[in-house]
Structure formats: structure tokens, C-alpha cells
């Protein structure tokens, strides 16, 4: 593309007005028979790029020349996107970096909760303890506050699905697995152990509900066992059985595998609050057998052995 007259003149040189001009690749040659006229003020042309990404050329490099004579005039029309490299020569071009407009992020409108936030589920509560009869004159009874304090670190263990409610006679356990059908503690020999995951001798305990009012009554429930024997404190776990509470033929319910921990011994205040017959009975037991009375809570542990 050819450019108008005066592209190769100095930028700051005054423009010469002529009556006519000829476009060529070398510029504009003024006619010799025309006399130069008075200089006219040169209007500046403001170039506006169509896009921020286009090159912006110095405005001083492109000035418009007008003919004073006649109605025809030559005007150089320069577009930022149509300027040839030859016409620009060695003039510098200013490149304006493209700046993306900042977008304001709209905060989403608050939506009402469709479902209320549920509080964290509390640990499952054990079923209510069934009523059972016991001989108050023979049973060592602790205040409810003391029982709660002793069992504070032995929460109930939820069992899902629930265990079997089958009650079996003690003689059945003896015939099937050996041991004794009458003693407080019973041991199953290793060769007759029904467990698939354990090995060695199996240990079972059969506390009487009428003698242990705070003992566990449901599978997974913790409780207190009043005993003067220390075997239950070692070699855990112990399989715990509970006798039926309906007063009929003696049958036993398997409660699970338990660990036992000594949490206290008989205190002076606890002994004095018992009935006279209870105090006489336990005093005789302590003197004759020379053992110390203790309470041992059974702490529930996951059953790792099969039911007998």
C-alpha cells in the first residue's frame, strides 16, 4: 500500500501546501510552477485502536497534509491495522499489553436449609435393667452413686446384630465342653475350646444375680461383681453367663467376653451401712479365709471367641 505525501519527511518539519500531488512509491513530488503559499496550522489526528491488543503508533509520525488550492486534497488515512512495514520504516511502535477487565464475582445468594443439621449421635443406651429378686439380708448393696462412679470408665458395648437370647442349662455346658457344673469359675480345656480364633484354655464365670445386684444383665452391658477371688483379674477375657431371672429352672444366658478390673475395696463407710446379717456373714468370710473383699467391674470387650 502506498502512503500519502510527507511520510519520509522529518516528523517536526513544517508542511508545504501545494495545488496538487502525485502518489508514488517514493513519495510526493511538488510541481515546479507553483509558488509556495503561506503555511497553515496542521491539525493533529487522534488514532484510536479498535482493540487493546493492536499496536498503537506514535501520533507524531502521521500528520495530515491538506491542499490549499482547489477542492481536491490528499489526505493520508492511517489505520492501526493497515500500516505497511515499509512505510513505518524504523519508527518505533508502542505495544500496549492486553489487560483483561476485572470481573466482579457475585456472591451466591444464601439459600435456606432444606434439611436441619442433625446433632452428633449419642452412644446407644443399654436396655433397661429387668427387675430381679435378691436376698437383701445376704447381699452386699452399694449406693447408686458409688456404682455409677465405679462404672464411669466402662461404657456399654453396642452389639449389632443382637446376640442370641438362648438360655441353656449349666449341665449342657459341662457335658459339651468339660469343666465343673457347679463352681463359680469354669475352665474349658484347649482341645475342647469351640472358638475358631483363639487357642488355649477357655475361662468362664457364672455369677449369681441374687448375690450381685450390680452385675451385667444384658449382653454388652458393664457391671460390678462382688467376689473374694482374684482369678477374674488375670488372663482376660472371661466369658460371662447370667442366670435367668424368671425364677424357673436354672438356665444361663451368654453375655459375651469381658475384662475385669479391680476398682475398689470395701470401705468402712460401705460396711457400716449394710444390714447386720450381711456384715456378720462377710466378717466371718474375711476372718476364716483371710482374704480382702473387693469389687471388680467387668469392662466390656469385643467378643473374639465363639459362643459355647
Pairing of strands 202-205, 238-243: parallel
Sequence-distant (≥ 6) Cβ neighbours of residue 135 within 8 angstroms:
210
Looking at residue 45, its pLDDT comes to 54
pLDDT under 50: residue ranges of the chain: 1-33, 51-88, 292-308
CA geometry: angle at 84 spanning 79 and 90, to 5°?
110
Distance CA 247, CA 225 (A): 21
E strand or H helix that includes residue 289: helix 276-289
pLDDT at residue number 107? 63
Asked if 207 and 253 touch (Cβ cutoff 8 Å), the reply is no
- Rounded to an integer, what distance in angstroms lies between the CA atom of residue 241 and that of residue 204? 8
pLDDT one-digit tens code per residue, 11-25: 444 444 444 444 444
pLDDT, residue 253, reads: 93
133-138: long-range pairs with CB below 8 Å, 24+ = 133/210, 133/247, 134/209, 134/210, 134/211, 134/213, 135/210, 136/275, 137/275, 137/277, 137/278, 138/211, 138/277, 138/278, 138/281
pLDDT in the model for residue 100: 57
Rounded Cα distance between 170 and 182, Å, is: 8
Q: Which of 228, 187, 224 is nearest to 209 (CA)?
A: 224
Residues 6+ apart with CB under 8 A from 15: 6, 39, 40, 42, 63, 65
pLDDT at position 251 is 92
Cα 73 off chain centre by: 80
- Note the Cα 234 to chain centre separation in Å: 39
According to DSSP, the β-strands at 294-300 and 167-168 are: unpaired
Q: What distance in Å separates the CA atoms of residue 179 and residue 53, rounded to the nearest whole number?
A: 96
Amino acid at each position: 500500500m502506498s502512503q500519502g505525501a510527507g511520510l519520509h519527511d522529518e516528523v517536526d518539519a513544517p508542511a508545504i501546501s501545494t495545488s496538487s500531488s502525485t502518489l508514488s512509491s517514493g513519495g510526493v513530488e511538488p510541481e515546479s510552477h507553483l509558488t509556495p503559499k503561506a503555511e497553515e496550522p496542521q491539525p493533529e489526528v487522534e488514532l484510536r485502536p479498535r482493540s487493546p491488543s493492536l499496536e498503537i503508533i506514535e501520533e507524531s509520525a502521521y500528520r495530515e497534509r491538506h491542499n490549499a488550492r482547489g477542492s481536491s486534497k490528499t489526505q493520508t488515512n492511517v489505520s492501526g491495522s493497515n500500516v505497511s512495514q515499509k512505510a513505518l520504516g524504523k519508527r518505533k511502535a508502542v505495544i500496549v499489553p492486553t489487560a483483561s477487565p476485572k470481573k466482579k464475582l457475585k456472591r451466591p445468594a444464601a439459600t435456606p436449609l432444606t434439611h436441619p443439621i442433625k446433632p452428633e449421635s449419642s452412644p446407644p443406651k443399654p436396655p433397661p435393667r429387668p427387675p430381679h429378686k435378691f436376698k437383701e439380708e445376704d447381699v452386699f448393696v452399694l449406693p447408686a452413686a458409688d456404682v455409677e462412679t465405679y462404672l464411669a470408665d466402662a461404657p456399654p458395648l453396642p452389639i449389632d446384630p443382637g446376640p442370641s437370647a438362648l438360655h441353656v442349662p449349666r449341665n449342657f455346658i459341662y457335658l459339651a465342653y468339660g469343666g465343673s457344673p457347679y463352681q463359680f469359675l469354669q475352665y474349658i480345656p484347649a482341645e475342647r475350646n469351640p472358638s475358631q480364633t483363639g487357642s488355649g484354655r477357655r475361662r468362664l464365670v457364672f455369677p449369681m444375680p441374687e448375690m450381685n445386684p450390680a452385675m451385667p444383665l444384658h449382653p454388652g452391658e458393664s457391671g460390678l461383681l462382688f467376689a473374694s477371688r482374684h482369678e477374674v483379674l488375670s488372663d482376660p477375657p472371661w466369658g460371662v453367663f447370667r442366670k435367668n431371672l424368671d425364677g424357673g429352672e436354672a438356665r444361663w444366658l451368654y453375655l459375651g467376653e469381658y475384662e475385669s478390673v479391680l476398682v475398689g475395696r470395701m470401705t468402712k463407710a460401705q460396711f457400716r451401712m449394710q444390714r447386720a446379717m450381711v456384715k456378720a456373714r462377710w466378717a466371718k468370710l474375711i476372718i476364716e479365709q483371710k482374704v480382702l473383699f473387693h469389687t471388680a467391674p467387668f469392662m466390656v470387650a469385643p467378643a473374639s471367641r465363639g459362643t459355647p
